[in-house]
Structure 1
Amino acid sequence: MSGFAIVVLKRAVLLGILLAVVFVAVDLLPGDAARATAARGESAADVARRRVELGLDRPVLERFWEWMSGLPRGDLGVSARGVPVRELVSGAFPNTLLLGGLALALTAVCSLALAGWAALRPGGWVDRVVSGTATAVLALPEFVVAIALVAVLSLWTGWLPAVTIAGSDGAPASWDMLVLPVLALAIPQTGWNVRIARATLADEAREPHVEAAVLDGLSPGRVLLRHVLPGALPAIVAGLATSTGMLLGGAVAVEVVFNYPGIGSVLASAATDRDAPLVAGVTALTGAVITVVLLIADITRDVLAGGRR
């Protein structure tokens, strides 16, 4: 078996273990889906009957195995409210991917620009300010950044809307409704990736071929772009790939703050309903996206590293 196939298999196994943990964790929450989704006035007998209909009278591992057996067919099961999980996530997940994709692109551009700016003057005031600010920003949770952005850019200045209104197609009604959620996700991850990129650029700047380029009298900008950045790219790509999982995880909190029509609202309602199939379905899709991104990052890193040999 090739190394690539082994990596794919390991990540698939890890995803399966994660899904089992999620399924069991939801089952251990107080109450159950039958009671959480019961209509007002339903009797205890009605709730008991719904519990049997939902299969909650069976062992949790048996229900998990039944749910897992449908994954190869693309069947994510049925929610506690009787709606197919695939139907619930099909409209929301593209919105989350849009949000996360824009945040990742902004993170990549800002991280490279700030780290490169700092690397041009190592040890100078720009380097100290960029590194210090990045350290402070990466410690901020996304929901704290989201609330601060709402206070400053919406409530105080009125420049941007504080909540997202979905259009007829289920997507945000206007582009400006994306600005605050994207910033709330990108700011902490920019801090994280600036630290990675700056440290990697500093390590690469000590390489003999870089020192030779400096001694040849090349300008700092040319040395950075032609000799330092290519060697640092594999580690920078790996850092950005890691941010994908953090962005999708942070999107849950950010979407709730901004009432964004993404997977976060679906997951929040699923947790309220103690809906294990729906929570597991969201986790499976998110985990699959993260796995694909990490595999692409691995391939990209190997290609970049191989090109320098």
Structure 2
Amino acid sequence: MSKKAETGPVAAPRTGAATAPRRAGILALRIAGTAGRRVLMLLALLALVFAAVELLPGDAASASAERGESAADLAERRHLLGLDRPLWERFANWMAALPTGDLGTSARGQKATELLADPLPNTLVLAMSAFGITVVLSLLLGCWAAARPGRLTDRVVSHTSTAAFAVPEFVVSAVLLLVLSLWTGWLPAVTVTGGDGRPATWTMLIMPVLALVIPQTGWNTRVVRGALADQASTPHVEAAHLDGLPLHRILLRHQLPGAVPAIATGIATSTGLLFGGAVVVETLFNYPGIGTVLAGAVAARDTPLIAGVVMCAAAVVSLVLLAADLIRYATLGARA
């Protein structure tokens, strides 16, 4: 009897069962690493905000000074606001209170969280409404163009989306005001707030949302179209064409799933652009959001309030980016 016969049959290694925990561990490490990088980027951004405000001429004490105040009065106000302390110490104290939800005290003596309690939800409604519409329109237009590669529809969508993204939000806002308000009178030119600090009617959201949607839809339509074009040259998509499958089935079941990571990353990146554009749009339409608060805080050199606005916006953007990373890792892990 041979040695092989004595030892008996050798069981085949269970590759799938063995690698599943390993894949889960790698995925957890990637997520933790990504979250850590997001936190470090946020810390660097907040430090940059403190330094940038410090470099501006004047400070919160001089910006809030009344006519006829003496140098002693200004020095006393600087002491009360902590402006006589080093910048690094003020930043460290602000960061130490951040985990408790304390965004500091403004130059006027009010809590930054109280000043942002009403405007922040208004901005979130504006930005998230624009984000949702952008996602839907970008997917529809990108898939429509990808289903007709090289044809007139594809060229029209590509050129139109490029032009839409190239136009800044304030130009789009001006055109919307001219057409939808001044010429036709269909929509109000400015936002009127009700007793709860929110827009009096939902129609006052239409033009601000459109001003954000149009440029971002142009950008994301090109992202969707490019991601689907990359998938069109993959072997499994070419095999589906050779099998004679319908074009819409190939697009939805073979190209789109593979393009999800690139599309999710591109759309998530536009979240930061939406918040940046919201500051401009809110000012033009007199919308009661954090854009107005930020403009006043910069004029007053109110560092804690500026940092609070940046912190809130950056936290939302970071969460969206983290969600996009999770989608990308999950998709790539499923295909591995």
With the length of structure 1 as denominator, give the TM-score of the two structures. Answer: 0.96
Match of 1:104 among 131, 137, 140: 131
* 2:166 aligned with 1:139: yes
- Structure having the higher Rg: 2
Cα distance in 2 between the residues matched to 1:202 and 1:2: 31
Structure 2 unpaired stretches of 5+: 1-27
Give the aligned partner of residue 114 of structure 2. Answer: 87
Paired AA for residue 41 in structure 2: L
Whole-Å separation in 2 of the counterparts to 1:3 and 1:226: 28
Secondary structure at the aligned position of 2:52 is classed as helix
Supply the distance in 2 between the matched residues of 1:81 and 1:219 (Cα, whole angstroms).
65
Between 1:32-41 and 1:111-120, the stretch displaced more is 32-41
Secondary structure class of the residue paired with 1:111: helix
Rounded Cα–Cα distance in structure 2 between residues aligned with 1:132 and 1:72: 47
Contact residue 162 and residue 222 of structure 2 kept, 8 A: yes
Query: 2: CA distance between counterparts of 1:100 and 1:125?
Result: 33
Return the alpha-carbon distance in structure 2 between the equivalents of residues 127 and 14 of structure 1: 38
1:64 is aligned to 2:91: yes
Q: Give the Cα separation in 2 of the matches to 1:63 and 1:209.
A: 58
CA distance, structure 2, for counterparts of residue 141 and residue 39 of structure 1: 38
Q: 5 Å matches for 1:3-14?
A: 3-14=30-41
Matched to 2:305, the amino acid is L
Relative to the length of structure 2, the TM-score reads 0.89
2:230 to 183, 198, 203: 203
Q: Which residue of 2 aligns with 1:232?
A: 259
- Please state whether the residue corresponding to 1:2 is helix, strand or coil: helix
Mapping for residues 1-309 of structure 1, pairs under 5 Å: 2-309=29-336
Q: Deviations over 1:266-287 (max 9, x none)?
A: 1000000000110011111111
Measured in 2, the distance between the counterparts of 1:157 and 1:46 equals 54
How far 1:107 moved relative to its partner? 0.6
Residue correspondences, number: 309
Q: CA deviation at 1:121?
A: 1.1
What 5-or-longer segments of structure 1 have no aligned partner?
Answer: none
SS at 1:23 equivalent: helix
Q: Using the TM superposition, name which of 12-21 and 31-40 deviates more.
A: 31-40
- How far did residue 41 of structure 1 move? 4.3
Rounded to whole Å, the distance in 1 between the matches of 2:332 and 2:190 is 44
Deviations 1:50-96 (A, max 9, x none): 11111112222211111111111111100001100011111111111
What is the aligned-residue RMSD (CA, Å)?
A: 1.4
Residues 94-133 of structure 1 show CA distances to partners (whole Å, capped at 9, x for unaligned) of 1111111011111101111111111111111111111111
Determine helix, strand or coil for the equivalent of 1:42: coil
* Segment of structure 1 superposing worse, 249-258 or 47-56: 47-56
Give the AA of the match of 1:275.
D
Q: Shift in Å at residue 17 of structure 1?
A: 1.1
Give the secondary structure class of the aligned counterpart of 1:31. Answer: coil
**Percentage of identical aligned residues:** 60
State how far apart, in whole Å, the 2-side matches of 1:86 and 1:105 are: 27
Q: What is the deviation of 1:144?
A: 1.5
